Amino acid sequence: MNSSAVDDLFAELEMSYATGNIYYQTISAVLEAAQLVGISHREQLILAQPKNELMVHFPVRMDNGSYQLFKGYRVQHNNVAGPYKGGIRYHEDVYLDDIKSLAVLMTMKCALMRLPFGGAKGGLKLNPREVSQDELMRITRRFTAALGANIGPDYDIPAPDMGSNAQIMAWMADTYINFAEINNKVEARSVVTGKPLAFGGSAGREKATGQGVVDVLEVLTPGMGLTLSTCSYSVIGYGNVGSWTARLLSAKGAKLRAVLDHRGAIFHAKGLDAEALAIHVRETGSVVDFKGAKVISEEEFYACEVDMLIPAALEQMIHEGNASLINCKVLVEAANAPVTPEGEELLVARGVTILPAILCNAGGVTVSYFEWKQNRQSEQWDEETVDRRLKRIMTDAAHRVQQVAEKYECSLRIASYASAVEHLKEIYELRGIFP
Ligand code: GLU
């Protein structure tokens, strides 16, 4: 869809965005794919804006006795395929348009994977490193109470995202259970996924996003002339997704050349030890000062020659200001929306293949689905079962994206959205409009 057609649609909805706006960028690419698939105008209008945008403000008593006001978001984009699903981010820089854009990506991700979920995303404006554990718990419980009946096991199911984790999910579930009907307490814990194993979590959930990245690479890299056991790669961000992707790739023999995080960048020509680096980051909070590694600048990091560059941190990190420095064959989007359209244009012009986020990082939500299913059936699958089922879903989706890219002669990104939209279109046509 050309940008004027997108603008016409927005004008009809009385919405207007600057071209650099992340929601505008995401929804424009989705609508381009929707047009390829040929969905109706009515369905385009539905997809162009989230169903619900919730913003809550709530006070919390801090350790020193003072009260602080917090801001939280939950955007529910679409639920035609099933309950809303998506993580809740804890970060000091969360804004409504970021959350809206990430909610759209969740709709697309769940539809691409053919999971029985819609898409949502949440955010809490907070740097979790700046509060005590007790404060974090009280903030999380108040946030959950403020969301109230806007979340639920059959309605909207949050999960961890950047800055949140299994402990935070345990507090959310516990708070929700306290409000649940007396005869519904067991079912109520499936209100969130990504919980700790001992409290309804799933084996393999913590590493799931990284595992899914590796499963997708196993399908797609051979056709790109790369062999995982011998290729080199670099990573942006060494949190859950970055560190697990690196640990699993390095276990296959791939060489981790460089890592960039919020405090700096490191390099090793012969390869960094991904396991030892994960321990170092857990202890110190950053990759800098890792023993034996050379400290490099951000520019040197981007210019570092590797087969694969794997952004696994925030959105829009690769843009027109740094894309022309990048020296890789394949860019693997482990993060959501890490490349701006201008950055993408520069990379594509230089022959870099981009593997799209909604495919690469869908392992997390897929194992979330397994967790939700296990909770509802009172089952506990072992890690081998989880890994096997995850691999099957990731592999099928990777093949589907390849086939759709051939069918429409488009990029893998547009193909991933097109495959998702094909699924949503089919559901809309079957369901029709009430009444
Ligand atoms: N936050 C993850 C994502 O962006 C996981 C979402 C989920 O498990 O619901 O895909």
**15 domain-assigned:** yes
Is 121 assigned a catalytic role? yes
- Co-location of 422 and 434 in the same domain: yes
Identify the pLDDT of residue 3.
66
Quick check: is 391 in a domain? Answer: no
Which CATH number goes with the domain that contains 260? 3.40.50.720
Same domain, 108 and 93: yes
Q: Give per-residue pLDDT as tens, 373-384.
A: 999 999 999 999
Classify residue 360: in a domain, yes or no: no
Query: Is 55 inside any structural domain?
Result: yes
- Dihedral angle sign, alpha carbons of residues 259, 278, 227, 337: negative
List the CATH number of the domain containing 165: 3.40.50.10860
Using CA positions, which residue lies closest to atom 4 of ligand 1? Answer: 87
State the Cα angle at 119 between 113 and 122, rounded to 5°.
130
Residues 311 and 427 in one domain: no
321 in the same domain as 225: yes
**Rounded to two decimals, what is the model's pTM?**
0.96
User: What's the number of domains the chain is made of?
Assistant: 3
Question: Which of 100, 209, 390 for mutating ligand 1's site (highest number of atoms within 8 Å of CB)?
Answer: 209
147, 137 in Cβ contact below 8 A? no
Tell whether 121 is covered by a domain. yes
Pocket lined around ligand 1, Cβ cut-off 6 Å: 85-87, 159, 161, 193-194, 336, 361, 364-365, 368
Distance between CA atoms of residues 218 and 262, nearest Å = 29
The reply to whether 64 and 173 lie within a common domain is yes
| Sequence-distant (≥ 6) Cβ neighbours of residue 83 within 8 angstroms | 117, 118, 152, 153, 154, 155, 156, 157
The answer, yes or no, to whether residue 16 has pLDDT greater than 60, is yes
Domain containing 96 equals 51-187
Q: What percent of the chain has pLDDT over 70?
A: 99
Domain boundary among 187, 219, 246: 187
Determine, yes or no, domain membership for 376.
no
| Residue 117 maps to a domain | yes
Per-residue pLDDT tens for 244-302? 999 999 999 999 999 999 999 999 999 999 999 999 999 999 999 999 999 999 999 99
